[in-house]
Amino acid sequence: MSASLEEISGMETIPQSHLIWAISDSHTSATLFGFNPTSQTIEETIPLHGIKNKDWEDMATDAKGNLYIGDFGNNNNKRKDLAIYKIPSITKEKKPITVFTTTFNYEDQTEFPPKKKERNFDVESFIHLNNHFYLFTKNRSSHFDGTVKVYKLPDTLGHHTAKLISTYKTCDNKTNCRITSATVNFETGMIVLLSNAKLWLLKDYKKDDFFSGSIEEIDLKHRSQKESISFKDANTLYIADEKNGILGGNVYEFQLNK
């Protein structure tokens, strides 16, 4: 990928565009990039005025093609300014982009930061489904056991309390089992969670109890700093990793049914 996306932290595709829309990690400008996977170039660069990139960690989209940016990176578990930005109507036409903001807090966090063994309030992945956001934590507790917490909050402007609705244990290896991105296919309902080395495919769940159905764990047999995932189509995923030295900085395709 371009040097502008060497620290890619989220990406999504939408029906009205042939581009992969992507964002970069913290310490960069509040900019949305349109990356063409065929030419491997950035075709669109859209500055987003009125917001800052404190720690952008993932992107989501809804069934209408609106894009969302999660400014909720929280490595030290002490942030109180967590936000999700809505960017509607991304098209090839140049026009001002109005950004809408939802802020939130976690219902079960009372200390900033909490004790090291309780630090499971960092989020690097979320999806939009049925007019709600669902956030999956990146567990940073000192007694890591793979527990992912899932929070739910409405897709409406203003401030909300994110409700804890479920938990799931991935595996107990910090490097391979921390969740770094998520995506959902609106046609099939499949949700995919990503780590540095694995995928978790969630299917046939009941309502928003995402871990109640079929869960398939896939070892990618490839370890890198994978930070972003989205569907290309119902059977193909895009996966991107950050550049780390001479490694990474790529977009990959992964076929779900070979």
Q: To which residue do tokens 């581009």 refer?
A: 19
CB under 8 Å to 258, separation ≥6 — which residues?
A: none
Residue 64 three-state SS: coil
Domain that holds residue 80: 3-255
Q: Is beta strand 147-154 parallel, antiparallel or unpaired with respect to 198-203?
A: unpaired
| CATH number, position 171 | 2.120.10
What average pLDDT score do residues 99-111 get?
97
Give me the chain's average pLDDT, please. Answer: 95
pTM (two decimals): 0.97
Q: How many domains does the chain have?
A: 1
pLDDT tens for residues 71-100?
999 999 999 999 999 999 786 566 668 899
Q: To which residue do tokens 């309902």 refer?
A: 189
199, 96 Cβ separation under 8 angstroms: no
